[in-house]
Amino acid sequence: MKNYFNNIKQEIKDYLNILEPNFPEWLNEYINTKELLSQSYISVTCGTIYSKLFESNFFFSSLDHSVAVALIVWHFTHDKKQTLAGLFHDISTPVFKHCIDFLNGDYMVQESTEDLTTDIIRNSKEIMNLLKRDNIDISEINNYHIYPIADNDTPKLSADRLEYSLSNALFTYNLLDFNSIKEIYDNIEIQKNEENEIELGFKTKKIARVFVKVTSKLSIIYREDRTRYSMQLIADILKRLNNENKISIRDLYELKESDVINIIENSKYNNIFNIWRNATKIKVSKEEPKDVYFVHHGAKIRYIDPLFNGKRISKCCKIAKNMIDKNLSYDMNNYVYLDFNFD
């Protein structure tokens, strides 16, 4: 059987070790199930690492993210059920991740694929046997929204939001190094928020502000012109291939990302895909461009206004509030395009 830890880069091992130096060995059997291992072939970047429009080609997988979320939850709670809910939260992620939400027209909420989580777990004999052995009911681990340390509503800080912020800043966009990651992580504790719920929060204002600076930059990257364009283009190529019976919706959940790229490369959309892949700059216009494929819509706003000693940092730090306000004012009204058309 494939073993997750035997197949990941040393940098990822070092990162996971920051999140939880004392790895819970009981978690290994769950990680090494077929359904979770399939997530190791999906990039968290929603396909953007395949284009020169983006600066990174570091492959951090959906499984890497899920394991890291589980370790954060374990680190702060030492609760098996909450940790497993964190581990399984993206088990229904398809290739190109949130691009499939764009395909489904769900680019503002980006939750259209989550409904399959319970089905995938229930249909896995391997996972269900482990849960039965550990006396855990599926209803206790199939929805991480019920555990506020694992997940909560924007702009609160949860293990999920914390993880993709740290790993994207470290591996994908080079906004932080390992020492900075550790400094941020070691400054976090469980606090009570304004609704008297538990939430991850910062002990010091300085580190909370550093985190807001980084996550405000990331927030714009997640929805800027080049990102919205890339995700919608991939979605539209996949939609056309599906309409032409060249790829099924089921394939998006069962094939590796590399397999789907091969299908695109062997289709009539290969030239379009290559133009996008080799582009280094996106084109924008306030007016609708003629005779080209363009994207003109918004996207989900992911941002974090974390706690500092039980209060939102925006309420007690003008610098942090300004960074958050600047992030939220990012303009998504442009028409975004490259010089080609589908037809």
Q: What does the alpha-carbon distance between residue 221 and residue 224 come to, in Å, rounded to a whole number?
A: 5
Instruction: Give pLDDT tens digits for 46-81.
Output: 999 999 999 888 999 999 999 999 999 999 999 999
* Phi and psi based region of residue 248 (left: phi greater than 0; alpha: psi -120 to 50; beta: remaining): beta
Which residue do the tokens 């304004």 mark? Answer: 194
- Give the pLDDT confidence score for residue 297 in this predicted structure: 87
Q: By C-alpha distance, which of 126, 139, 105, 85 is closest to 236?
A: 105
225 three-state secondary structure: helix
- Give the pLDDT confidence score for residue 99 in this predicted structure: 80
Q: By C-alpha distance, which of 48, 64, 66 is closest to 56?
A: 48
- Give the pLDDT confidence score for residue 1 in this predicted structure: 54
Instruction: Give pLDDT tens digits for 203-260.
Output: 999 999 999 999 999 999 999 999 999 999 998 999 899 989 999 988 998 999 999 9
Average per-residue pLDDT for the chain: 93
Assess if CATH 3.90.1150.10 describes domain 4-224+301-328.
no
Of residues 114 and 89, which shows the higher confidence score? 89
Which residue do the tokens 């009204």 mark? Answer: 333
What is the mean predicted confidence (pLDDT) over 328-341? 94
Instruction: Give pLDDT tens digits for 291-303.
Output: 999 999 888 888 9
What is the mean predicted confidence (pLDDT) over 177-188? 98
Q: What does the alpha-carbon distance between residue 107 and residue 332 come to, in Å, rounded to a whole number?
A: 13
C-alpha 137, offset from chain centre: 26
Instruction: Give pLDDT tens digits for 4-45.
Output: 999 999 999 999 999 999 999 999 999 999 999 999 999 999
DSSP state of 201: E
343-to-18, 93, 171, 269 alpha-carbon distances in Å: 50, 30, 37, 10
Residue 116 — pLDDT band, cuts 50, 70, 90? confident
199 strand-pairing partners? 191
Residue 107 — pLDDT band, cuts 50, 70, 90? very low
* Helix H or strand E encompassing 154: none
Instruction: Give pLDDT tens digits for 266-285.
Output: 999 999 999 999 999 999 99
H-only helix segments in the chain: 10-19, 28-31, 34-37, 62-77, 80-88, 99-103, 117-122, 125-133, 159-167, 178-186, 205-223, 225-243, 249-254, 257-265, 270-278, 313-316, 318-328
The tokens for 140 are: 């206790």
What is the mean predicted confidence (pLDDT) over 322-335? 94
Residue 109 — pLDDT band, cuts 50, 70, 90? very low
- Give the pLDDT confidence score for residue 110 in this predicted structure: 45
